[in-house]
Amino acid sequence: MVALSHSPLLDATDALQNYFGYTEFREGQAPLVEGVLSGQDVLGIMPTGGGKSLCYQIPALLLPHITLVISPLISLMKDQVDALLEIGISATFINSTLDEATLRTRLIEIRQKQYKLIYIAPERLNSYLIRSLFSALPISFIAVDEAHCISKWGHDFRPAYGEIIDFVHQLPNRPVIGAYTATATSEVIHEIKTLLQLHNPIESIISFDRTNLTFEVLKVSDKRRYIINFIRRFYPNESGIIYCATRNNVEKLTEFLKNAGLKVLAYHGGMEHHEREKNQNAFIRDEVQIIVATNAFGMGIDKSNVRFVIHYNMPQNMEAYYQEAGRAGRDGAPAHCLLLYAPRDVSNQKYLIEHNDFITDPERKDILYHNLEALIDYCHTEECLRAEILHYFSETPQFDHCNNCSNCTNTAPKINITIEAQKILSCVYRAEQNCGITTIIQILRGSKNQHILSRNLDQLSTYGIMREYSESGLKEMIMTLIARGYLYQTTEARPLLKLNIGKAKLILTGQKQLFHRQDLLLHKTFSAPENHYHSPLYEEIRAFRLMLSKERDVPAYTIFSDKTLRELAEKQPTTQGQMLQIHGIGVKKFDLYGERLMELIRHHQAHQA
Residues that bind ligand ADP (CB under 6 A): 22, 25-26, 29, 46, 48-54, 302, 304, 330-331, 561
The span from the first CA to the last CA of the chain, in angstroms, equals: 59
Residue with smaller CB distance to ligand ADP, 53 or 92: 53
Tell me the backbone φ, ψ of residue 376, rounded to 5 degrees.
-65, -40
Smaller CB distance to ligand ADP: residue 484 or 583?
Answer: 583
Are 299 and 530 in contact by the 8 Å Cβ rule? The answer is no
Closest CB to ligand ADP among 61 and 346? 61
User: Please, what is the minimum distance in Å from the beta carbon of residue 513 to ligand ADP?
Assistant: 44
C-alpha of 558 from chain center: 19
Residue 172 · residue 135 · CB < 8 Å? yes
Contact 351, 335 (CB under 8 A): no
Minimum distance from CB of 595 to ligand ADP (Å)? 23
Alpha-carbon separation of residue 213 from 19, 406, 426 (angstroms)? 27, 11, 41
Cβ–Cβ < 8 Å for 425, 504: yes
Which string of DSSP letters, residue by residue, matches 531-597? -----HHHHHHHHHHHHHHHHHTS-HHHH--HHHHHHHHHH---SHHHHHTSTT--HHHIIIIIHHH
Quote the least distance from Cβ 320 to ligand ADP, whole Å. Answer: 16
CA distance 286 to 539: 14
Is the CB of 51 or the CB of 59 nearer to ligand ADP? 51
Which residues are CB-contacts of 46 (< 8 A; sequence separation ≥ 6)? 28, 52, 180, 182, 204, 205, 206
Least separation in angstroms between residue 188's CB and ligand ADP is 16
20 or 115: CB nearest ligand ADP:
20
Judge contact between 117 and 69, C-beta under 8 A.
yes
Q: How far is the CB of 93 from ligand ADP (least distance, A)?
A: 16
Alpha helices in 326-417 (DSSP H): 343-354, 362-380, 385-392
- Of 49 and 72, which has the nearer Cβ to ligand ADP? 49
- Residue 206 CB, shortest distance to ligand ADP, in Å, is 10
Query: In this complex, which beta carbon is closest to ligand ADP, that of residue 46 or of residue 528?
Result: 46
Cβ of residue 84: shortest distance to ligand ADP, in angstroms?
A: 11
Min separation Cβ 327 and ligand ADP, Å: 9
Pick 230 or 297: Cβ nearer ligand ADP: 297
Which of 479, 476, 474 has its CA nearest to residue 462?
A: 474
Considering the complex, what minimum distance in angstroms separates the CB of residue 46 from ligand ADP? 5
Decide whether 26 or 534 has the Cβ nearer to ligand ADP: 26
Output the smallest distance, CB 104 to ligand ADP, in A: 31
Q: Is 564 exposed, middle or buried (0-12, 13-18, 19+ CB in 10 A)?
A: buried
Count, residues in the chain = 609
Nearer to ligand ADP, 116 or 484 (CB): 116
Could you tell me the smallest distance in angstroms from the CB atom of residue 563 to ligand ADP? 8
Taking alpha carbons only, the member of 206, 198, 188, 203 closest to residue 51 is 206
Cβ neighbors of 592 (< 8 A, separation 6 or more) are none
Among residues 332 and 446, whose Cβ is nearest to ligand ADP? 332
**Quick one: 317 or 561, whose CB is closer to ligand ADP?**
561
3-state secondary structure 227-257: HHHHHHHHCCCCEEEEECCCHHHHHHHHHHH
CA-based nearest residue to 237, from 541, 525, 573: 541
Q: Smallest distance, Å, CB 213 to ligand ADP?
A: 13
